[in-house]
Chain A
Amino acid sequence: MTALAILFLAWLGSSFNLAFASSMVQPDWALALLVGSLLAHRANWVWVLPGIAMHDLILHWSLWVCLPIAAAIPLVLIYLDEHLGVGLPQRLFMLLLVTVMLLPWGWSVQAWLLTVGLTVPAWYVLSKQYAYAT
C-alpha cells in the first residue's frame, strides 16, 4: 500500500515538475520520494527502480539520468553495510551521489538543494514507518 501511494505521489510530483517548470524553482518531488524510500528500506528496490526509470523517462526522455546510480544503491549498501557496519555515512553519500546527477541534466543548484532537503524528511518518515511495522 505504501509502495502504491509513493509511486502515485511520485507520478504526481513529476507532473507538477512539468506543469510548473517555468513558474517556480521546485525540488524533484518524485526523485526525493523514491530515493527516500530506497534509503529507508533497501529491499524497496523492486518498485523504486521502475519508479526512478519512469521519472527519468518522463522528465528527460532517457534512462541515464539517476537510474544507474539508484540501481547501484542497494548493491553498494549491502557491500558497505557488510564491511563498515550499518550506518548513515554511506547512505548520505549515496543520497548526494544520486541527486547530484540532476545537475549535469540542467537542473539548477537551488532545485538540487531543495531535492536533497525533501529527501531527508521523506527518508526519516519512511524509516520510522518501517521501524514501527517491524
Chain B
Amino acid sequence: MLRHRLGFWLIGAIILAVLLVAGRAPLGSWSMLASSPALDTLYVPVQWWQSFSLWFRDSQSLQAHVEDLQKRTQQQAALIQEANSLRDENRQLRNLLDIAGITGYRWHAAKVRGRSPDTMSQRILLQVNGVDADDVIVSSEGLVGIIDSRTDQHATVRTILDGSLAVPVTVPGTALAALLRGQGDRLKVSFVPLEQAPKVGAVLYTSGAGGFFPPGIAVARITEVKPIPGQLFADVEATPMAHWQRDNWLAVASHIQEEP
C-alpha cells in the first residue's frame, strides 16, 4: 500500500519536473510554426469555394467588379505618386533638421494565416518569405510586434502584448522616454515621471531608442494615469493602437544589414 502511494507521488514529481524543465525551453513558437501545413490545408476549401463561386457569377457583375478594381488601382497609383513625392520632401526636411527617419528597413507585406484563439490574439502566424527573426511587424494603425521564429514560407509573431517584449516609446514634442511592456491583455508604461506623465488619450510612438524599432510608429493610447504616493514614476496603462485581431494583411519592416 505504501509502495503504491509512493508510486503516485513519484509519477507526480516526474511530471512536475518535466514541466519545469520543458517550460523553460522556447518550444512554443516552433510548434505553432509546425502546424502551418495544416492551416494551409484548411484554407484550401475556402479557396476552392471562392474559385467555384466565380462560375455562378454573371458576366455583368464580374465586369463591374473588374471596373471597380481598375478604378481602385488608378487611385492607388495616384496615392503612390503622392507618397513618393512626400517621402522625398520628408527626406529633405529631415536632412535640414538633422532628424533620424525610418531608414535602414525594407518593407513588405505578409498574409495573416492564423492567430492564437485568445480574445486579444497574442500570437500570429504569417505567410511570408524573406524575413528574419526580430523583424518588426506593423499594421496600418500601429506597431504589432516582432517575428519570433520563421521558416521559408511562414513566420510567427510575438505581439506587443507579450510580457517578454519591451518597446521604447515617447510622445512627440516632449522629453518623455518610457518603456512599454505587455501584460497579456493590456500594456503597462514604465518609467513615466509624474511631471511628464501624458494625459489619458495621448498616443505613444516608438522613440527608436536602441535601434530595434523604427521611430515614429504609433504604439499605444494611454488609458489610465495613476500617481503612486511616495513614488517618482506614475502608474500608466495603455491599449494597443493596432487591431491585429481583424487584419488580414500586415507589413514587415526588415532590418537592412549594413555591409562592413
Contacts and interface: CB of A to CB of B under 8 A. Distances in A.
Contact of B28 (A62, A72, A108): A62
Contacts of B185: 106
Given A15-B39, A16-B42, A75-B12, A54 B116 contact: no
Nearest to A78: B8
Contacts of B120: 106
B246 interface: yes
Interface in B200-237: none
B11 A75 contact: yes
A19 interface: yes
B43 interface: yes
Contacts of B118: 60, 105-107
Q: How large is the interface on B (under 10, 10 to 19, 20 to 34, 35 or more residues)?
A: 35 or more
Nearest to B34: A58
Interface in B83-139: 113-123, 125
Interface of B: 8, 11-12, 15, 19, 22-23, 27-29, 31-32, 34-35, 38-39, 41-43, 113-123, 125, 184-185, 245-246
Q: How large is the interface on A (under 10, 10 to 19, 20 to 34, 35 or more residues)?
A: 35 or more
Interface in A1-41: 11-12, 14-22, 26, 28
Given A61-B28, A107-B117, A107-B118, A11 B35 contact: yes
